[in-house]
Amino acid sequence: MGELVASASAGDVLLCVGLGSCIGLALVSRHGRACGLAHIVLPDSGGREGDRPAKFADRAVSALIGALGHHGARTESLEAILVGGAQMFSMSTGMEIGARNEAAVRAELHRAGIPVTATATAGGVGRTVRVHVATGNVTVREAGSNEVTLR
Amino acid sequence: MLGVEADTDTGRSALGEIGNIMVSSYVGALATMTGFELDLRPPESTRDMLGAVVASVLAAHSDAHELALVLDSELEVAGEACTLSFMLLPTPAGVAELLQRIGLGD
């Protein structure tokens, strides 16, 4: 949770297991091989420093873009895939964190000029996302279901 | 579990009820040990990947938690072994008080 990773190595598969209300943000470059994945927990850092780089949406997106920049990927080449943002408990108040996370991530992506090309979000189930660096494919699996390719 | 499939409405309801009874028991025991008065709000239940569930609970109460109290239990129910974990997430203010009352404070 709150971690991010970027890679351009063909053998790598980036993974977030068990995304509930968290958002797994995958950024994939249309040119070249660089891919990144961030596990975002909350929408807003409120200016707080010192937490994990991808914990808050308002910091995670720029941090992930930066990590991809280290692998030579330009922001203009990136597209985003969002996974997660579910509401795990159906009757809760104050637990719309999932929807707020998705909205915050989308807002940050819009600010950065990165299009969202696929999503597997909302609903009430947990999801696992894999980013296959060799192909740029992004796959999602819900508990008890088959793997689905989003990109 | 009681001859009911977990993935049905009846099953989910039974799961919720069992969870409610178990949590009440644990909280009651904790209250006795610590002398705290502990009020329970209506319970909610879900069934999914462990990481997804736990992370979602933590995210919803984000201001609070650096400490979790985990009680792993093994029960025998009608001759069958059953394990459960009870996780308590106290607020920062509650942690020191809790540890003190169970004899682990400084």
CATH code of residue A126: 3.30.1330.200
Q: What is the pLDDT of residues B40-77, one digit of tens each?
A: 877 788 888 888 988 888 887 766 566 777 888 888 87
Place of tokens 């009757």: A91
Are B52 and A124 a contacting pair at CB < 8 A? no
Domain that includes residue A125, residue range:
4-149
Query: Which residues neighbour A13 within 8 Å (Cβ) at sequence distance 6 or greater?
Result: A130, A131, A132, A133
Q: What is the pLDDT of residues A68-112, one digit of tens each?
A: 999 999 999 999 999 999 998 876 655 589 999 999 999 999 999
Domain count, chain A: 1
CB A27 within 8 A of CB A133: no
- What spatial distance separates the first Cα and last Cα of chain A, rounded to whole Å? 23
Domain that includes residue B42, residue range:
9-101
The two tokens of residue A140 are 């999602």
Instruction: Give pLDDT, residue A61.
Output: 96
CA distance B5 to A123: 22
3-state secondary structure B79-91: CEEEEEEEEECCC
- What spatial distance separates the first Cα and last Cα of chain B, rounded to whole Å? 43
Instruction: Give pLDDT, residue A110.
Output: 97
Q: Which residues of chain A neighbour B60 with C-beta distances below 8 Å?
A: 21, 92, 94-95, 97
Q: What is the pLDDT of residues A18-44, one digit of tens each?
A: 999 999 999 999 988 899 999 999 999
Are B60 and A17 a contacting pair at CB < 8 A? no
Domain count, chain B: 1
Whether B20 maps to a domain, the answer reads yes
CA distance A3 to B58: 16
